[in-house]
Amino acid sequence: MSSFFIKKKVISAAHNKGDLKRKSNADDGKGRSKKFNKRVDEEISSDSEDERADPSRRKQDEEDYEIDETPQDKKLRLAKLYLEQLREEEDKKAEEESFEADLIAGRLQEDLLEQKGKLQRLIAKDLIAPDPEEIRLLRGHKLSVTCLVITPDEKYIFSASKDCSIIKWEVESGKKVHKMAGGRKGTEERHVGHTAHVLSMAISSDGKYLASGDINKLIMIWDPVTCKHLYKFTGHRGAVSGLAFRRGTHTLYSASHDRSIKVWSVDENAYVETLFGHQDMITGLDCLSRERCVTTGGRDRTVRVWKIAEESQLVFHGHEGSIDCVQLINEEHMVTGGDDGAISIWTVNKKKPVSTVKKAHGSHGNGGLEQPNWVSSVAALHNSDTVASGSHNAAVQLWKCGQGFRGLEPLFSIPVTGFVNSLKFSNSGKFLVAGVGQEHRLGRWWRVKEAKNGLYIIPLKRQAKEQEVVQ
């Protein structure tokens, strides 16, 4: 402690001496004053150099400052530091909350657009055609594959065939996980499963139930995890040609060649109601989250939107032949294909297509006998501008929908030999699956002998760009 007071005295004396010098210099001439200033500058410079050369001296000075600081000053300094830290934390928190709010607002806006059927993610322009060697073929069915579904987690695919069987595949490895074997005709009473051509399948959005329908008028309900048979629904008077679960529920819609649609509650293993309106056999069905579904009426050349709660239906005309397949793009728009070779985009607000491509898959025959190739399947990447179609012209075609779903532009085609009877995009849009066979799923009008009955898993590569969303 004594050294501290001594040092304080020395410092004080130095200050006093400096004051005396400054007074005497003020009385002297101009030149002596400049000379003194120069010497003071030199002395300050010398002190700085000494401090740099001797770190212990600088440390000692810092200690002296700390000792010189009163408890009140220290409290004030620490309080200021604490307040500064609080301010920084609050600013950071505000930034994070703002970012989260922007994310939530963006998500809510997308949800609102999706509910209104106006959400259209523009991803088609970034899609790149895969290399042929990247396309995988999974074989296991003896006859034509007629339908398929992809599990919500995109880890498995279920495919069904005219050989009456259903196969569960693992996407990553391409291996067969399980087979629900088909039975022979006449063994319906003792065989667990289908004994006739399976034409349609659907899986619930939570992956809890799998439904399959056959030409024997039966609907089977399965557990997709264990592949165990749960229920059997009867009631249709014709082949079950279309199945779809309402998203977020276990309500099942079924369409049949008996021209009716039936509503089922799978949780309760119960029939709910039947809807009538088509004038010919129904060939396709789809639905999303709203309490309604869409159907194609085959040779009655109509597309119908069924409003279940209101017990009403909207009727749409546009194709020149049988309309064989349909899928919803979002809640307000859908894509259809038919044996007239055309692909059409529809909105529920107009009774005619908003866009149509004729001879979408070319034609066959010569001269006056030239006929368009039938469009046997369509698929849509939900809430996007990307759709796909299949025929028997050895290609799956991808299309880009114009803004507001007006106009269809071809993107690229993928070589696939045989009848493309079913197409499904994975939810993420990472891959497209095509169910292929030697025959059309609904009949045996002709065969493509060189085709291989199976599933083609087609990867969808994208350029590294951000997705755009338009209203």
> Mean of the pLDDT values across residues 10-30?
41
Q: Name the token pair of 94.
A: 């505000």
pLDDT, residue 18, reads 43
Residue 161 amino acid letter: S
pLDDT, residue 38, reads 41
pLDDT tier at 70, thresholds 50, 70, 90:
confident
* Cα 448 to chain centroid, rounded: 34
Lowest-pLDDT choice from 102-116, 183-197, 299-313, 372-386: 102-116
* Cα 125 to chain centroid, rounded: 16
DSSP secondary structure, 274-340, as one string: EEE--SS---EEE--SSSEEEEE-BTT-EEEEEETTTTEEEEEE--SS-EEEEEESSSSEEEEEETT
The residues, any chain, with a CB within 8 Å of residue 68's CB and separated by 6 or more, are none
Find, among 301, 254, 300, the residue nearest to 279 by Cα.
300
pLDDT tier at 54, thresholds 50, 70, 90:
low
Give the chain's end-to-end CA distance (angstroms, integer).
78
> All domains of the chain, ordered by start, with CATH?
120-470 (2.130.10.10)
Whether the predicted pLDDT of 433 surpasses 90: yes
pLDDT, residue 57, reads 56
Round to whole Å and give the CA distance between 232 and 221.
6
Find, among 60, 150, 161, 101, the residue nearest to 379 by Cα.
150
Looking up tokens 């809640």, which residue turns up?
Answer: 331
The residues, any chain, with a CB within 8 Å of residue 36's CB and separated by 6 or more, are 21, 25
Average predicted confidence (pLDDT) for the chain: 84
Round to whole Å and give the CA distance between 44 and 37.
11
Helix axes 2-27, 55-68, angle to 10 degrees: 100
Greater confidence (190 vs 285) lies with 285
pLDDT tier at 305, thresholds 50, 70, 90:
very high
pLDDT tier at 64, thresholds 50, 70, 90:
low
* Cα 439 to chain centroid, rounded: 32
Express each pLDDT in 245-287 by its tens digit: 999 999 999 999 999 999 999 999 999 999 999 999 999 999 9
Lowest-pLDDT choice from 100-109, 125-134, 164-173, 247-256: 100-109
Burial 232-250 (b: 16+ CB within 10 A, else e): ebebbeebbbbbbbbeeeb
pLDDT tier at 372, thresholds 50, 70, 90:
very high
pLDDT, residue 403, reads 87
Q: What percent of the chain has pLDDT over 70?
A: 79
In terms of pTM, does the model score above 0.85? no
* Cα 88 to chain centroid, rounded: 38
pLDDT, residue 3, reads 40
Greater confidence (1 vs 439) lies with 439
The residues, any chain, with a CB within 8 Å of residue 246's CB and separated by 6 or more, are 252, 253, 287, 288, 289, 290, 291, 293
Greater confidence (228 vs 118) lies with 228
DSSP secondary structure, 123-155, as one string: -GGGEEPPPGGG-EEE---SS-EEEEEE-TTSS
Greater confidence (14 vs 381) lies with 381
Express each pLDDT in 317-335 by its tens digit: 999 999 999 999 999 999 9
Are 418 and 392 in contact, with CB atoms under 8 Å apart?
Answer: yes
Lowest-pLDDT choice from 61-75, 221-235, 401-415: 61-75
Torsion angle of C-alpha atoms 253, 255, 261, 266, degrees rounded to 10: -30
Find, among 446, 386, 376, 431, the residue nearest to 410 by Cα.
386
Lowest-pLDDT choice from 46-55, 125-134, 386-395: 46-55
